[in-house]
Amino acid sequence: MSWIREGELNLIERISANILKAGPMPKHVAFIMDGNRRYARKRHVERQEGHSQGFEKLAETLRWCLNLDIHEVTVYAFSIENFKRSKEEVDGLMELAKQKFVRLLEEKENLEKHGVCIRVLGDMSLLPLDLQEIIAQAVVATRAHNKCFLNVCFAYTSRHEIANAVKEMAWGVQQGLIKSSDVSDELLSQCLYSRNSPNPDLLIRTSGEVRLSDFLLWQTSYSCLVFQSVLWPEYSFWNLCEAILQYQLSYRSLEKARGLHRESQSRQQLEADCLCVTELLQHRGNGKPVDAQGRQEALRKYTASREERVQDFLNVLQSKRDLFYTNLCSQAAVA
């Protein structure tokens, strides 16, 4: 079963897609693919069969997304909490993941043709080493592609991701790359696993559950949340259209809320910078008062130096992550 399904929509689907595309379309959609096990129970098939069907549905959904000009998709494949499931099921899921990533490596040309970049978000160290190596190969092989993006959250929870981002920042502080006063909303976003993607516009959860289950908590603060009762293996093109319509209905209010948030973000950044400059001037000026122009100049300089410092730190962080994958790949090559 392949990752990219070839094929076009039928006439009615195509017309509906075009109608939807006349409105604002989400650029990035996140899925919580819930209901595989309930589907298996309902159909009286093996649990593992439910998971396989779920994967097939993912491939199909990715094609629909491409047809609808949605070029970035994030899926919740495996939560850290899922390690609590029975050993048999966890092993089965790991095996399924391994198969699928091996399959993905075999389809390299196809992925290149469509320009698909695969990213895996999560704590890789929790996974068996052979799976880590295969994932690393897939990530490295597709990392230059830039037409569409598939983010697979594996061994992921959002709290873990946020804590990890804070840890990275603390590391930066320890290494003297940044100061603790540089920590901001923006910087934290840049330290998350999802640093290279924009926030999802739309989050879809299937099977009727109405919670986020520790998925992209930070990133979906201002996203449209759509909870649908259909089980994931039964998800259809029309379900996706319905979710997009919900997004379009909420679009204007969401834009407004996001605008407000961005405003307060930059206000806070300015306040933080001002505070640092005041401290600096007090330190330097031996209590001499500084005129408004001098202050402005100092503020401008400080902001520039902070931005440079933060950018350097982020570059170091990125190369650290790249190196992690490259090392895993070369390990796999040796083995």
Partner 1 sequence: MAPLYGFVWRLLLALLQLQRTLLLWLRSRLWRRATAALLMPLALGFHDHGRPGKRPGRRAGAPDKLPAHVGLLVADEEPRYPDVAALVVWCAAAGVSYVSVYDGQGSFRRNPSRLMEQILQQQRELLGPEAPRFSVELLSGGAERQERGGEGPSCSGTGTGLSCQTAVKVLCPGDGKLGIVEAARQLCRAVERREGTPEDVDVAALDSLLRESKNVPDPDLVLKFGSVQSTVGFLPWHIRLTEIISLPSHVDVSYEDFLAALQRYAACEQRVGK
Among 94, 140, 141, 173, binds partner 1 (CB under 8 A): 173
Q: Which stretch binds partner 1 (CB under 8 A): 4-12, 104-112, 160-168, 286-294?
A: 160-168
Residues 162 and 188: beta-carbon distance below 8 Å: yes
Residues 183 and 313: beta-carbon distance below 8 Å: no
The verdict on 227 binding partner 1 (CB under 8 A) reads yes
Among 209, 279, 297, 312, binds partner 1 (CB under 8 A): 209
Among 13, 112, 214, 234, binds partner 1 (CB under 8 A): 214
18 versus 305: smaller Cβ distance to partner 1? 18
Q: Is 137 exposed, middle or buried (0-12, 13-18, 19+ CB in 10 A)?
A: buried
Phi and psi at residue 23, to the nearest 5°: -100, -175
- Provide the mask over 23-42, with x wherever binding to partner 1 is found by CB under 8 A and - wherever it is not: x-------------------
113 versus 256: smaller Cβ distance to partner 1? 256
Residue 74 Cβ, how far from partner 1 at the closest point, in Å?
A: 16
Residue 269 Cβ, how far from partner 1 at the closest point, in Å?
A: 11
In the numeric block, which tokens belong to residue 49? Answer: 């069969």
Residues 122 and 158: beta-carbon distance below 8 Å: no
HSE toward the beta carbon, residue 29, CA cutoff 13 A: 23
Residue 332: alpha-carbon gap to chain centroid:
26
Among 62, 153, 183, 299, binds partner 1 (CB under 8 A): 183
110 versus 269: smaller Cβ distance to partner 1? 269
In the numeric block, which tokens belong to residue 279? Answer: 């401290």
Among 167, 300, 301, 320, binds partner 1 (CB under 8 A): 167
136 versus 202: smaller Cβ distance to partner 1? 202
**Shortest CA distance to 184 belongs to which of 284, 270, 300, 122?**
270
The verdict on 229 binding partner 1 (CB under 8 A) reads no
85 versus 103: smaller Cβ distance to partner 1? 85
DSSP sequence for 40-100: HHHHT--HHHHHHHHHHHHHHHHHHHHHTT--EEEEEEEEGGGGGS-HHHHHHHHHHHHHH
- Provide the mask over 241-280, with x wherever binding to partner 1 is found by CB under 8 A and - wherever it is not: ----xxxxxx--xx-xx--xx--x---x--x---------
The verdict on 21 binding partner 1 (CB under 8 A) reads yes
Residues 75-104 contacting partner 1, CB under 8 A:
79-85
Kind plus residue range of the DSSP H or E element containing 109: helix 108-114
Among 217, 230, 274, 316, binds partner 1 (CB under 8 A): 217
**Shortest CA distance to 69 belongs to which of 104, 23, 107, 113?**
23
> How many residues of this chain bind partner 1 (CB under 8 A)?
66
In the numeric block, which tokens belong to residue 111? Answer: 């992925």
In the numeric block, which tokens belong to residue 171? Answer: 């590391």
Would you tell me which residues interact with partner 1 (CB under 8 A)?
18-23, 79-85, 157-160, 162-163, 165-171, 173-174, 179-181, 183-185, 188, 209-214, 217-218, 220-227, 245-250, 253-254, 256-257, 260-261, 264, 268, 271
